[in-house]
Amino acid sequence: MSKQGYAGPLEQIDECCWRIPVEYKTGMRVEGRIFADQRLLDQIRSDQAPEQVANVAFLPGIQMASLAMPDIHWGYGFCIGGVSATDPERGGVISPGGVGYDINCGVRLVRTNLRREDVQPRIEALMNVLYRRIPAGVGQGGPFLFGGCELEQLLAEGSRYLATRGWATDDDLDRTEAGGCLPDARPDCVSPRAMQRGGDQCGTLGSGNHFLELQVVEEIVDSEAARAMGLELGQLCVMIHSGSRGLGYQVCDDALTAMRKTPAKYGIDLPDRQLVCAPVESPEGQAYLGAMRAAANYAWANRQLLMWQTREVFEEFFGRSWSSLDMQLVYDVAHNIAKMEEHEVEGRRRRLCVHRKGATRALPPGHADLPEAYRAVGQPVLIPGDMGRASWLLAGQPGSMIRSFGSSCHGAGRVMSRTAAVQNAQGRRIDRELAQQGVVAKCRNWKGLAEEQPAAYKDVSLVVDVVHRAGLARKVARLRPIGVVKG
């Protein structure tokens, strides 16, 4: 597919939502809807991501609309920022392209009782220790090794298995989406190659846009929600962004190969072969779902072990236990996942297969799946920005259940390809530029920082503002980075 700009229709529904009409392409079963405002439209039209929104509308069993969040940009099959829900009772399908290669790439936020002034004089030393101790980079292994039955149990139980080994607490599980474990995972559907790749990568950051950041709470918008989440101005937090590493990549690659002829088998016509899919209830669909759930569980365990290692670093560096530092998990959310969920469509509760690719869950106050601590304020929604500006913490709102199958955006969204970003950074020292902004950046190589420079991303404040005004999630707090470890 060409990545040239989108020239098709975008009809305004309201100040924060735009429609691609179902008449745009013969074969669309529902319309496309993109959450955005006028400030973001030029960037959204700059590649073929809106065309991908229209293409997803071809999927059998798709409900309501093919959706995209304001951080939308071009991806494999589905756009990044894409959300769709299919109904298995109406021929609904599961598509690996609607989850992505990095299955359950996600973010967790850890609070501390440290203040910025406690850390700032020693920030360089602390970042050096984190850089040495947190495994990061392409193919990088770590200190936790899982093989054979242990790895199978990890894939089946996710973070719950780590609790049996003393590497997760009950509170950690309670504040992780799905308790850190999708049921009905099938390790037997994960290939030997994927298992091999995952043996030593649980508890590692990886490369690309993955990171560990030290952040300071710089602004509080909703004081009630911030109190419920244990946040206050000037407080130091840690944000961790990673996924299922080589294991998840291999699961996706294996599924795309296995499903190559599946659409023809079931008489499914697709406008883009990257949308390869299978009916949810078919053997092919169930095999992918089982393997995808296993990879998702691996990713939750990965972030849990990254947090555990970070707690150990802080204990040694500050000479206090992590519990006395109040290093409690605020929340962990998945970004690339497909889950069976109940939603109301046309006045009826239905069990749907919800794809979120570069999108995150945003449950409103009172939802039964929320931990008791957040039942009154809504689910914490973590939106990382770029490493030079800010990240945001939001809380899910009722509008998400009405408009987006309980979903929100997942980040700022790229405006520059990695190749373009590297070209843009020629002759520059991104680490020095960040240092001038008060951010200590540690990375394995110059290229990694160049690819992830702030200019490569949209301004996250614009993206979050759309989500807030659209009623999907409301702003709670803004967190500014002061230190970052990149792969």
Catalytically active residues are 410
* Alpha carbon separation from 169 to 319, 328, 381, 406 (Å, rounded): 21, 10, 21, 27
Cα–Cα distance, 19 to 480 (Å, whole number): 34
Q: Which residue type is seen at 29?
A: R
Cα–Cα distance, 128 to 111 (Å, whole number): 20
Burial class (CB in 10 A: 0-12, 13-18, 19+), 142: buried
* Three-state secondary structure call for residue 7: coil
* Alpha carbon separation from 41 to 20, 75, 324 (Å, rounded): 13, 18, 47
Q: Which residue type is seen at 59?
A: L
Residue 25 half-sphere exposure, CB side, CA atoms within 13 Å?
22
Cα–Cα distance, 107 to 105 (Å, whole number): 7
Q: In this structure, are residues 347 and 358 in contact, taking their beta carbons and an 8 Å threshold? A: no
User: For residue 260, which of 271, 269, 272, 273 has the smallest C-alpha distance?
Assistant: 273
Q: What is the dihedral of CA 298, 299, 305, 307, to 10 degrees?
A: -160
* Three-state secondary structure call for residue 394: strand
In this structure, what token pair is assigned to residue 234? 């000037």
Q: Which residue type is seen at 462?
A: L
* Alpha carbon separation from 62 to 86, 93, 279, 400, 409 (Å, rounded): 4, 8, 11, 18, 20
Cα–Cα distance, 464 to 118 (Å, whole number): 30
In this structure, what token pair is assigned to residue 345? 């469509």
Cα–Cα distance, 360 to 362 (Å, whole number): 6
